[in-house]
Amino acid sequence: MAVPGDPPNGTPDGTGGDDDEFRSDEYRSVVFDDDFVRAARLQEYSAQERMGEHARAVRSRSIWSSGGTAPRTSTPGRGARQGMLLVLLIATAFAAAVYMGLRNPYVPPPGGPAQPLTSTVVPLAPTTAVPGGLPPELFAESPAADYRVGAAGITLPAVRRTHHFTDVQVVTALSIAKDYLVQSSLDPDVLAGSATRPVRVLLDPDQLAQFDRSMTSPSGDGRHAATGWLVRFDPATAVMADSRVRVNGTLAFEEVAQDVLEVTTDHTFVYAVRPATGAPAAAEGASLFTVRRELRLRFDRDDLGARRLELASAYVMAGPQDCSADPAGGFRPLLAGAGPTTVGPAASDPYASGHPRRSAGLCGVLAPSATPGAPVSPAP
């Protein structure tokens, strides 16, 4: 009987059959006896256990290797170079965006709605009886003798560019301001109180609600006086006796913010009026009524493109009027032959050049020099 480890056909010729002779002494130490083999325990490890600490068989496609080192199967230094290239591209794109932002001439429009108008309307009471007569004679004897007629009296100043507005934009702002003065101070329908649209279409949309309330429910609260927005006569008191209104004044402009251009206007308007009742051709029924308007108009780039404006503030003096009359809804002139009434605390001359003296209260005094027949002062 063959023993384990013997050749299938027996022991080859020339070799001994003894196990001790077959096994060389040098292999004796690695031969296990039968008891050891039977006692040996077979244990099969799982796939995860067989992997042990070995590297992953599939190379990662990430440019960043785990632990800060490149995968063993990748080219040494390739991941680091790819990472540096990506960082460089991002930095270049960011620098280009910043540069283009600084070089871009576009200026963003201002945020927020237009501010509401603040207005002050001061009636000027006469110190003497109101003179009457024919309009040409009254104008000739008044400080308005040398004033121009209508829109010709509203002249534009010399134009120059500002830091953020071109000369064309400045001219546009000044022309819109002139249009507003013409429509709000000279339009016959606006003066008669029968129209408001010529003025309304020139206003910033954010101010339309305030304007509409001022027209329908005028109030002397500093926000809703119709006469803060425009010149309007109470149709029950007076009407125009001559359509040729005398005008004199100035316009100025200033950049008050990077995206805001401000135009200030200071004009004196002299109207010939007569009683609302009676014959239109009454020879001695006319008298003069003077309105001094100081307005502050603001424009952003959207306003210039749409040919509109924001009326920021208005300071108005008008007379002769009775200080007890509320001028918020419309002016109520004291007509020819009316005597002096309650007077205010200080005299104000609406014809004075520069900034006239403003009344500290709600009523002022029409300076004697502003009355027809008084010595005529040079036109400013």
pTM, entire model: 0.69
363 and 340 in contact (C-beta within 8 Å)? no
Residue 197, Cβ neighbours under 10 Å: how many? 11
- Please work out, in degrees rounded to the nearest 5, the angle formed at the alpha carbon of residue 151 by the alpha carbons of 150 and 154: 115
Query: In this predicted model, what pLDDT tens digit does every residue of 197-252 receive, in sequence order?
Result: 999 999 999 999 999 999 999 999 999 999 999 999 999 999 999 999 999 999 99
Mean pLDDT of the 256-283 span:
87
**Per-residue pLDDT tens over the stretch 9-60:** 555 555 555 555 545 555 555 565 666 666 666 566 666 666 665 555 555 5
pLDDT in tens, 99-124: 665 554 444 444 457 899 999 999 99
Give the residue-averaged pLDDT of 244-263.
Answer: 96
β-partners of residue 133 are 286
Q: What is the pLDDT of residue 341?
A: 73
In the sheet that 148-149 helps form, which strands lie side by side, from edge to edge? Answer: 148-149, 238-257, 260-275, 287-299, 310-319, 118-125, 364-366, 347-348
Rounded-to-integer distance, Cα 258 and Cα 107, Å: 8
pLDDT of residue 120: 95
**Which pair of tokens denotes residue 98?**
């910043």
Residue 140 has pLDDT above 60, yes or no: yes
Per-residue pLDDT tens digits for 331-374:
999 999 998 876 655 556 788 766 555 554 578 888 766 666 54
Average pLDDT, stretch 270-276? 95
| Beta carbons within 8 Å of 320's beta carbon, 6+ residues apart | 124, 125, 126, 130, 289, 333, 334, 338, 366
Q: Estimate to the nearest angstrom the gap between the alpha carbon of 254 and the chain centroid.
A: 16
Q: What is the pLDDT of residue 352?
A: 78
pLDDT at 279: 55
